[in-house]
Chains A and B, each alone.
Chain A
Amino acid sequence: MSEVDAGPATVVAPPAVRARAGRRGLGRLLRTQPLGAVAAVVIVLFVAAAALAPFIAPFDPTAQHRDAFLAVPGSPYLMGTDDLGRDIFSRVLYGARTSLLVAVCTLVAGGIIGIVIGVASGYFAGGWVDTLLQRIMDTLMAIPGIVLLLFIAALLGPSIRNTVIALSLLVIPTFNRVSRGEMLRIREELYVESARASGCSTWRILRRHGLPNLLAPILVVASLTFAIIIIAESALSFLGIGTPPPTPSWGAMLSDGSRYMEIAPWMVVFPGGALTLGVLAFNLLGDAMRDFFDPKQSSR
């Protein structure tokens, strides 16, 4: 059984015990899920690269070096240049910023809305609130993701903000379903019954007992959804309705590079590699966390 599932959340361990438990948990994660640990390291590197891009990138990612169109990887352009002479290494680094920015904003916006709807719906399951909210979610889920994305992105126009709006709508049902399912389970737990019997308000029950117990499944879903968002953002940019030029985005770089695939393969290989690696890392981490938090897996 995982730490977050271990009984009522009101039983709070002293800080020193929690710290030891955390270290033990990390140690067990490394021991039982080595691939997940590698993925976590890759993600940390990605985040660091994105955060430190202004210091690491040798050039401005939008600066055109007009004497070096489609330059071969080497010095001074480590990953070569594109069809406007822009340094691909710098663009890949800044592209990570765009991808992570979009993913984090989407997860925060879509995640919060999805969780709030899911928790409310799960706690009041069976009532009209639940029915109404879930039918809205069913409708959103019934529309194929890419169609919904294209529709919203085309309607609002290409920009990072609009991409976040489109992607948020896409992920809301996922968070809703997971949090609602968990909430249905949690509301039947004895400690919730006790809290209710002792006169705790609904808000207090949800805040103190509901949300903390949702953490594990939400973390797993967030990690897997992160990868989906990165791909979706790239897909929108590839189609020209995501991040507008010249802002670096892996998808837009792939789109530009696809026209020169045989002439200048570095234009697609490096952003494509970064995209693959990033998505793979988030997927592996998501898998590892799911296994780690799964009581059946951890008891083996």
Chain B
Amino acid sequence: MLKVDVIEEGTVIDHIKAGKGQRVLEMLGIDENYPHRVAMVMNVPSKKEGKKDIVKIAGIHVTDEMANKIALVSSKATINIIKNSKVQNKYLVELPPELKGIGKCPNPNCVTNYSEAGDVKTGFEHYKEKYKCTFCERVFEAEELI
């Protein structure tokens, strides 16, 4: 098992779907310009999922809105908020009941992908573990929207 230093202030995101750790960092806007320590471990053995990714991010406490976005790529991820080197709060990400202005409709013929549409924000409603576009009414897996 790889060892990664404990962080004093920040967030540990565990149980990320294997291979999606990098995508989670991108969604949080963390790139080479991020000033604090970031660790990502891929393909960690997991009893529940077989394997998983974990990210540790110093200097940031993930908000509910960020957690909702993470749920779109990995619906079973857990968020651990770290304060003074201790887990202050731990919770499972949740797929939000609706999304407005978050995500892109994968249907190329949807009006939200129409370059001349003008003032339009994408919209999705949670529908049987998936999402339905409120415009074209098609149903997609959550991770297809990101």
**Chain A complexes with chain B:** no
Q: Which residues of B contact A (CB under 8 A)?
A: none
Q: Which residues of A contact B (CB under 8 A)?
A: none
